[in-house]
């Protein structure tokens, strides 16, 4: 069974789908136009997709759909928060499915992408062939608090830089005061905050330091703005859902085949969240990668994600 990424490929179809009077969504298709559809949901929220995301999937078997969520990546306007909620994103996935004439698809998402995958599948289980999930994030209050404060127990140096970006009088409420800066219309105010937030997340997401991932992704200004502003927006609003809503609704999708891949030393989205999901959904295959953190590109996680998509080929053919 294949365990490595497939070679780079180019899309056979790209476009911009107008969602409403504000938002337009970038999307692309690659692989086999007649293949089994799979949709890739990127992380963040707000991080955007990349050409490398196409490479998890066998291009001879899958019709690979990749898109940038509202306010992220190549979707416009970048960093826009108006009409940007989990409900909007779920509706956007459905709009894209209908636009492409797809009946059902495999849903693949990591980190925030796992959150959105669950939200979409629970809303539209009849449109889902199965799920491949990585680095589980359910955006519960405890998880937001961990990201904003708890990470200092493992990465005190990175947390110090993150927290001390704010003046001392504002550090008692990191989220609210970052959000105030990130939503300020002046780039001289929002961009420094976005860069620090994005670098903090990137520096904590791998088992071993990875300067190339920071420089090529998290330190890019477009990524930083989309990621930091939209993450803070969703954190402030608790992803616009009641706490624990995704676990409480898991009965809607327990009949679907699923694979959960989790890094043992994931500090951004600690394993307890994936464990809680698996306890609520014991039918899902649960894989712990014992030498990995959070990032999809860490060798063990990347290998397990590719293998999961390979196994789905046997049941979806």
Of 42, 190, 294, 303, catalytic: 294
Catalytic residue among 30, 49, 75, 111: 111
With vertex at residue 209, the alpha carbon angle to CA 155 and CA 115, rounded to the nearest 5 degrees, is: 70
| Pairing verdict, β 62-67 and 105-110 | unpaired
Per-residue tokens: 215: 């420089």
The token pair that represents 217 in the structure block:
């992704």
Structure-block tokens of residue 267: 């500090």
DSSP 266: -
Beta-carbon neighbour count of residue 263 at 10 Å? 29
- Cα–Cα distance for residue pair 28/17, rounded to 1 Å: 10
For the question of residue 266 being annotated catalytic, the response is yes
Cβ(246)–Cβ(138) below 8 Å: yes
294 catalytic per annotation: yes
User: What order of strands is seen across the sheet that includes strand 105-110?
Assistant: 13-18, 24-31, 62-67, 36-41, 105-110, 128-134, 258-263, 285-289
8 Å CB contact between 140 and 243:
yes
Task: Identify the H or E element spanning 182.
Answer: helix 174-182
As a three-state string, the secondary structure of 2-55 is: CCCCCCCCCCCEEEEEECCCCCEEEEEEEECCCCEEEEEECCCCCCCCCHHHHH
Q: Which of 53, 217, 266, 278 is catalytic?
A: 266
DSSP conformation letters of 45-95: TTT---GGGGGGS-TTTEEEEEE--TTSTTSBSTT--TT-SHHHHHHHHHH
Q: In whole angstroms, give the CA distance from residue 37 to residue 259.
A: 17
Positions marked active-site? 111, 266, 294
């Amino acid at each position: 069974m294949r365990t490595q990424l497939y070679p780079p490929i180019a899309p056979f179809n790209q476009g911009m789908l107008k969602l409403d009077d504000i938002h337009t969504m970038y999307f692309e298709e690659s692989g086999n136009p007649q293949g089994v559809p799979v949709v890739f949901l990127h992380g963040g929220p707000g991080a955007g997709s990349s050409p490398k995301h196409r490479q998890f999937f066998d291009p001879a078997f899958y019709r690979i759909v990749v898109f940038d969520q509202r306010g992220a990546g190549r979707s416009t306007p970048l960093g826009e928060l108006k009409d940007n909620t989990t409900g909007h994103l779920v509706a956007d996935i459905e709009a894209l499915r209908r636009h492409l004439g797809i009946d059902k698809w495999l849903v693949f998402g990591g980190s925030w992408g796992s959150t959105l995958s669950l939200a979409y599948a629970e809303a539209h289980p009849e449109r889902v062939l199965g799920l491949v999930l990585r680095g589980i994030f359910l955006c519960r209050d405890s998880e937001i608090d961990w990201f904003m404060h708890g990470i200092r127990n493992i990465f005190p140096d990175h947390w110090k830089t993150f927290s001390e970006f704010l003046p001392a009088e504002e550090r008692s409420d990191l989220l609210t005061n970052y959000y105030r800066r990130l939503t300020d219309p002046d780039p001289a105010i929002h961009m420094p905050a976005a860069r620090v937030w994005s670098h903090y997340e990137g520096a904590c997401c791998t088992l071993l330091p990875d300067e190339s991932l920071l420089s090529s992704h998290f330190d890019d200004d477009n990524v930083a703005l989309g990621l930091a502003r939209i993450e803070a927006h969703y954190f402030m609003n608790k992803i616009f859902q009641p706490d624990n809503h995704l676990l409480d609704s898991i009965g809607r999708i327990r009949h679907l085949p699923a694979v959960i891949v989790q890094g043992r030393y994931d500090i951004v989205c600690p394993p307890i969240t994936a464990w809680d999901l698996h306890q609520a959904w014991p039918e899902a295959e649960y894989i712990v990668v014992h030498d990995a953190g959070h990032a999809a590109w860490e060798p063990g996680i990347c290998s397990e994600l590719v293998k999961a998509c390979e196994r789905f080929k046997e049941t979806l053919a």
